[in-house]
Chains A and B, each alone.
Chain A
Amino acid sequence: MLFDFGCFTGHWPYRRLRRGSLENCRADLAAAGVGGGLMASLDAVFYNDSWEGDGPLLEALSGTGFSPAVCLNPELPWWRLRLGEAARAGARAVRLYPGIHGYPLEAAEELCREAGRLGLGVIVTARMEDQRLEYLLRQAPVDPKEAAALAKKCPGTQVILSNFYLSELEGLSGENLWADTAGLCHGLFPFEYLEFPRERLLFASFAPLQCPESAVCNLPEERDFLDGNTRTYWEACHGGIS
């Protein structure tokens, strides 16, 4: 079974998600061969206080094999409060949306450092959807080099680049830097052209925004390395798989 480092549940403001409920998301992921993961609330991205979406998700995910990746905006004054609450409630990661919330990644340094101190990984989201279908709120581009620089400045935190495209990952590396596979669902044979350390790749489906089977069928036939990478990440971030 795959562990999904980038899956979601909830509503999306620009179109109706027909399979966005937690029950449907879990069922669809299971059908695609995903047994657990870091799940984020789509609602939380747009709530003034993201905890309104993340709090209920934390409760709902208890005992499911999925752990919450909570949404935080480092420019809001209560991020430290919510980060502490999230850590105490069992969250395993923080997901940042700098392209939507509109801040430079250097503004996330303190948050990133503190998350690592509390044993949470930090996921930097490049984009949520194809930019040609954006409406009202344009996602600002997220510079992958700045995301890698954030990881370098916070060596005690495991940082995952999420939904970056093949070309954006080119040449990046770092001891605490990871990338998920969500952005590699384009083109043919992307893993052959990837210039990012394979031992730093983590599976992500981006379901329900994207089809989980698409993410799975895109993987190379020899995909055991992803299990090993998951274990390595978990060891580095949380001291082992619990």
Chain B
Amino acid sequence: MSEPIFDAHAHIWLGRAAQDAALLRRAAEKYGISKIYISCLGSHTPDPAEIEECNRQAARLLSDPLFGGYVTVAPEQPGALEVLRQGAEEQGFSGMKIWVSCLCDEPCCDRLYDYCGAWGLPVLVHTFAKTVGQLAGESTAVHLRRAALRHPGTKFLMAHLGGNCYHGLPMVRDLPNVWVDLSGSNCRGDDLPYALELLEKDRIVFGTDMPGSFAMSYGQVLALPQETRRKILWENAQALFDGRDGNAL
């Protein structure tokens, strides 16, 4: 693989951050990954202290040029905007991550999206359309669509191709402010070809969900024509992040 690789969706997990960071560094060396965007996650419904610790752990890694980061935010918490502000302005994060503590179209998210829109920070939203075990605060592409329509000036990154691409991708097909990533162990045999049929290739971004998953996403990209592969592996993430963090080639 000759192209540089930008992984826009990876994690370190609270309680094993150093171990995960070491795995990510090894993967970068083995597969030639130039940039890995991480967020630190812990429990599904973290309290403010857990959020603070997650972001402290992730921020520690940002001095390594391999890493960029999303500040993890629980939008339902009163201090969420301050967490975001601190993450972007003091800790060096380049985007915001919303996981499963609340749905991404709840009104409490609006002030955060306004801030991200004003600062050009992409918002990475975990999305999944499960037939089994959907969490109460777990967004689907329907929620993301509502949020993206309310905030056309904010850039959203819909994770895991929506969790079930046949449900998720049609929901965001007409929204130019929504990118999608193909991260996760749910990424199936012909999900990426379907995504390419439905969206312009400029809005699909490579992501893996490392350390939990890698090959399921990476393998799909290997079979693509070179120009498309380059866009998905690197150029689209560059556009999404406006070349932040010294990523320009």
Instruction: Please report A residues at the B interface, Cβ cutoff 8 Å.
Output: 15-19, 31-32, 129-135, 138, 185-189, 207-218
Taking the closest CB of chain A, its distance from the CB of B192, in whole angstroms, is 8
Q: Are A214 and B215 neighbours in the complex by a CB distance under 8 Å?
A: yes
Task: Give me the 7 closest cross-chain CB pairs, A-B, nearest first.
Answer: A214-B219, A218-B215, A213-B219, A18-B190, A135-B131, A213-B222, A132-B130
Residue B46 at the A interface, CB < 8 A?
no
Q: Are B213 and A212 neighbours in the complex by a CB distance under 8 Å?
A: no
Which residue of chain B lies nearest to A19 when distances are taken between CB atoms in the complex? Answer: B190
Number of interface residues of B (CB under 8 A): 33
Q: Are A208 and B186 neighbours in the complex by a CB distance under 8 Å?
A: no
22 A–B contacts, CB within 8 A, in A order:
A15-B188, A17-B189, A18-B194, A19-B190, A32-B223, A132-B128, A133-B131, A135-B131, A138-B132, A185-B185, A185-B215, A187-B211, A187-B212, A187-B214, A209-B188, A210-B188, A211-B187, A211-B219, A214-B215, A214-B216, A214-B220, A216-B219
Interface string of B192-216 (1 = CB under 8 A from A): 1110000000000000001111111
Q: Are A19 and B189 neighbours in the complex by a CB distance under 8 Å?
A: yes
A186 contact from B163, B193, B213, Cβ within 8 A = B213
Which residue of chain A lies nearest to B211 when distances are taken between CB atoms in the complex? Answer: A188
A217 contact from B189, B192, B193, B219, Cβ within 8 A = B219
Q: Are A218 and B26 neighbours in the complex by a CB distance under 8 Å?
A: no
Q: Are A134 and B131 neighbours in the complex by a CB distance under 8 Å?
A: yes
Q: Are B189 and A188 neighbours in the complex by a CB distance under 8 Å?
A: no
A207 contact from B23, B189, B218, Cβ within 8 A = B189
**Complex Cα–Cα for A207 and B166 (A):** 18
**Complex Cα–Cα for A131 and B134 (A):** 12
B131 contact from A17, A18, A132, A218, Cβ within 8 A = A132
Q: Are A31 and B223 neighbours in the complex by a CB distance under 8 Å?
A: yes
Which residue of chain A lies nearest to B216 when distances are taken between CB atoms in the complex? Answer: A214
List the B side residues contacting A216 at CB < 8 Å: 219
Taking the closest CB of chain B, its distance from the CB of A212, in whole angstroms, is 7
List the A side residues contacting B193 at CB < 8 Å: 18-19
- Whether A186 contacts B212 in the complex (CB less than 8 A), given A211-B219, A213-B220, comes out as yes
Q: Are B186 and A133 neighbours in the complex by a CB distance under 8 Å?
A: yes
**Complex Cα–Cα for A214 and B190 (A):** 11
List the B side residues contacting A32 at CB < 8 Å: 223
Residue B239 at the A interface, CB < 8 A?
no
In the complex, besides A19-B190, A187-B214, A214-B219, 12 extra interface pairs with C-beta distance below 8 angstroms are: A15-B166, A19-B189, A135-B131, A185-B215, A187-B211, A187-B213, A189-B23, A213-B220, A213-B222, A214-B218, A217-B218, A218-B219
Residue B101 at the A interface, CB < 8 A?
no
Q: Are A211 and B188 neighbours in the complex by a CB distance under 8 Å?
A: yes
**Complex Cα–Cα for A15 and B188 (A):** 11
- Whether A210 contacts B189 in the complex (CB less than 8 A), given A15-B166, A133-B164, A187-B214, comes out as yes
- Whether A133 contacts B23 in the complex (CB less than 8 A), given A19-B189, A211-B220, comes out as no
**Complex Cα–Cα for A90 and B143 (A):** 52
List the B side residues contacting A15 at CB < 8 Å: 166, 188
Q: Are B132 and A134 neighbours in the complex by a CB distance under 8 Å?
A: yes
Q: Are B130 and A133 neighbours in the complex by a CB distance under 8 Å?
A: yes
Interface string of B112-153 (1 = CB under 8 A from A): 000000000000000010111100000000000000000000
Which residue of chain B lies nearest to A136 when distances are taken between CB atoms in the complex? Answer: B131
Residue B27 at the A interface, CB < 8 A?
yes
List the A side residues contacting B185 at CB < 8 Å: 130, 185-186
A188 contact from B128, B186, B214, Cβ within 8 A = B214
Taking the closest CB of chain B, its distance from the CB of A129, in whole angstroms, is 8
**Central interface residue in A133, A207, A210, A211, by most chain B CB within 10 Å:** A211
Q: Are A208 and B131 neighbours in the complex by a CB distance under 8 Å?
A: no
Interface string of B208-240 (1 = CB under 8 A from A): 001111111111101100000000000000000
**Complex Cα–Cα for A17 and B185 (A):** 18
**Complex Cα–Cα for A31 and B193 (A):** 15
